[in-house]
């Protein structure tokens, strides 16, 4: 394998992070700068050489074995013939080893650092560095995931606030529209909390929900977990109201035809009559029914799209 110049430079840079434990003598605080440099340069060489293969590696290995001889052989065959990858590996090894060879011959401390290399400790140091890199990468990924989740949560909260504000505006406009027709918009929760007072006062209320029937009994399904169904008496409702309910049933309860507002008065019902768990609950006597289109609130406008009665 023939490494690029960037790869070669990276090998030397990576060597600076390998522990002195890879060598027979520590490059700790007591070691001279020359010794430490010898350690670093040797590790850079070993790291680069370990990444080679084939004829390129053979050429580099040949020069490593020749460079200390009095008359080393060259990197070309007889007559200066280029041997391809073998010659290229040999030449690159000459280029990389020339500075360290000069320092080895001139500086005993540098030579001691260079020769202190221990392959077993080098492998241990390499594995330790790989583990540190793996942990660092894992921390980066975890931090990135936390940041992503935090941003998603912030986005969710923004969307939720926008939805709440839009719903509040929609209900305000709907309440105003119903008030003009003699009905007070009441939430399902408020119905269950205030139904005695609403019934006693004869207040004409309006509740939004989805019409459904069970065993020929009419209900308004509402978003209330404990009490999702409100019994609705429709016999005395207006003709238009009974027509809307009939059209809903005829559509097999298509949500587009069955999402509606029921206007009327509170009616007392008894659940589990005659039993120990008998309980008075609110029902409704319907007077009018208003279908609720999806575009009840026109975006960017103060106008209310009038529900069809």
63, 75 Cβ separation under 8 angstroms: yes
Q: What is the pLDDT of residues 117-160, one digit of tens each?
A: 887 777 787 788 889 999 999 999 999 999 999 999 999 999 99
Average pLDDT, the chain: 85
Q: Quote the CA–CA distance of 273 and 67 in Å, as a whole number.
A: 106
Select the more confidently predicted residue: 293 or 244. 244
Q: Quote the CA–CA distance of 124 and 121 in Å, as a whole number.
A: 5
Comparing CA positions, the residue from 121, 83, 82, 95 lying closest to residue 9 is: 95
List CB contacts of 191: < 8 A, sequence separation 6 or more.
198, 205, 207, 230, 266, 282
Q: Give the residue extent of every domain in the chain.
A: 5-117, 181-291
Q: Does the pTM exceed 0.75? A: no
Mean pLDDT, residues 85-99: 93
User: Given the structure tokens 């004829």, which residue do they identify?
Assistant: 55
* Per-residue confidence (pLDDT) for residue 78, from 0 to 100: 86
Q: What is the pLDDT of residues 173-193, one digit of tens each?
A: 889 989 999 999 999 999 999
> What would the CATH number be for the domain defined by 181-291?
2.40.50.140
């Amino acid at each position: 394998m023939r490494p690029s110049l960037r790869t070669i430079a990276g090998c030397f840079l990576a060597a600076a992070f390998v522990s002195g434990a890879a060598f027979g003598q520590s490059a700790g605080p007591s070691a001279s700068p020359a010794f430490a440099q010898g350690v670093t340069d040797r590790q850079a060489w070993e790291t680069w050489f370990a990444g080679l293969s084939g004829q390129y590696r053979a050429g580099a290995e040949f020069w490593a074995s020749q460079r200390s001889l009095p008359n080393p052989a060259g990197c070309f065959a007889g007559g200066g013939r280029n041997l391809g990858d073998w010659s290229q590996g040999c030449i690159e090894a000459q280029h990389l080893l020339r500075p360290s060879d000069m320092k080895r011959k001139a500086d005993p401390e540098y030579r001691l650092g260079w020769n202190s290399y221990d392959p077993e400790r080098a492998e241990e140091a390499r594995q330790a560095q790989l583990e540190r890199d793996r942990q660092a990468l894992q921390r980066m990924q975890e931090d990135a995931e936390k940041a992503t989740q935090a941003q998603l949560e912030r986005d969710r909260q923004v969307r939720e606030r926008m939805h709440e504000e839009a719903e509040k505006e929609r209900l305000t406009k709907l309440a105003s529209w119903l008030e003009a027709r003699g009905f007070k918009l009441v939430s399902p929760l408020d119905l269950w909390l205030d139904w005695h007072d609403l019934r006693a006062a004869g207040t004409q209320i309006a509740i939004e929900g989805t019409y459904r029937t069970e065993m020929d009994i009419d209900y308004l399904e509402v978003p209330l977990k404990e009490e999702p169904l409100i019994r609705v008496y429709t016999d005395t409702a207006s003709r238009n109201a009974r027509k809307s309910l009939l059209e809903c049933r005829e559509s097999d309860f298509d949500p587009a035809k069955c999402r509606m507002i029921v206007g009327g008065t509170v009616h007392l019902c008894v659940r589990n009559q005659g039993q120990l768990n008998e309980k008075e609950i609110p029902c409704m006597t319907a007077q009018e029914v208003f279908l609720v289109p999806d575009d009840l609130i026109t975006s960017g406008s103060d106008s209310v799209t009038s529900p069809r009665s």
